[in-house]
Amino acid sequence: MVKITVLGSFNMDLVMRAERRPLAGETLQGDFAMHLGGKGFNQAVAARRLGADVAITGRVGDDEFGRAFLAALDRDGLDRCAVVTDPTAGTGVASIVVEPDGANTILQDPRANRGLTAADVAAPALFDAAAVAMLQLETSMSAAIELARRARAAGATTLLNPAPAAAVPEALLALTDILVPNEIEARTLTGAADHGIDAAFGMAAALLQRGPRAVVLTLGEHGAVLADATQRIHVPRFDVHAVDTVGAGDAFCAALAVRIAEGAPLADAVRFANAAGAVATTRPGAEPSMPHRHEVESLLSRGVPA
């Protein structure tokens, strides 16, 4: 079984499902649910369900939400030896509005996540036999750079999901093997304004010049594009009935990491990741929607990309 290390972020998702987003000054009614989430946590859980051993590092608060995360990590069999309980900050939270077509908007308070330090991610056990290290931008930048540096030194492939959309230091891009932005994040990094598949290839080409050896740019209903030194490929999405897109990108990243760790060609890994992201959209919530391996393989065996 391959091993994946994850730079974790932990956010309790406070979700309202509504007919639409409220206008300024308007109050609407909706249906409330609360789920464990955070990009790092979601990706770690998904990687585990897809068949990898997973070690995660991050910070939770010394509160009810934090204890719920620790219990969930234990339940799913993740190595949490490098997860720190912060006595001075609460566990991260995210307020999410989900519309009937599954589209969502999110407001987030990182809280304990932003306190993650370079020392927190230095545990040798995180990198022992790790094939891939997954990172996002929901924790401190210093922790992300240090984890990427240590992962590279240990021989792991580094996969950066530059989310939420923000400027990424050149030092981190230089330590990134596989960069996995969505369209908004890619535009933030490149300053481009165009949309569509051709524009995505242009942004991917620009990003390749900044350090990564491959860029996988996700395009929602248009699938994903892959670009590296030898190929430019558009991989269509799978046609499923989407009810909630929260967590789909995290499922995609985790699936991509698992197949890369297993030695799959990058184009095959992207197709597997597209299927995992599609499965995640078929049920509500972030962590609850993270797919199992058999679900992804079932869609791959019968699904026809749209």
- Tell me which residues are annotated as active site: 250
Q: Which amino acid is at 18?
A: A
Residues 6+ apart with CB under 8 A from 276: 46, 50, 251, 252, 254, 255, 291, 296
Q: Which residues pair with 79 in a beta bridge?
A: 55
- Residue with token string 């095959």: 268
Q: Are 190 and 170 in contact, with CB atoms under 8 Å apart?
A: no
DSSP for 27-59? ----EEEEEEE-HHHHHHHHHHHTT-EEEEEEE
Cα separation, 74 vs 29, whole angstroms = 35
CA distances in angstroms from 8 to 55, 126, 161, 182, 237, listed in the order given: 9, 12, 12, 19, 27
Q: Could you give the 3-state DSSP secondary structure of residue 209?
A: coil
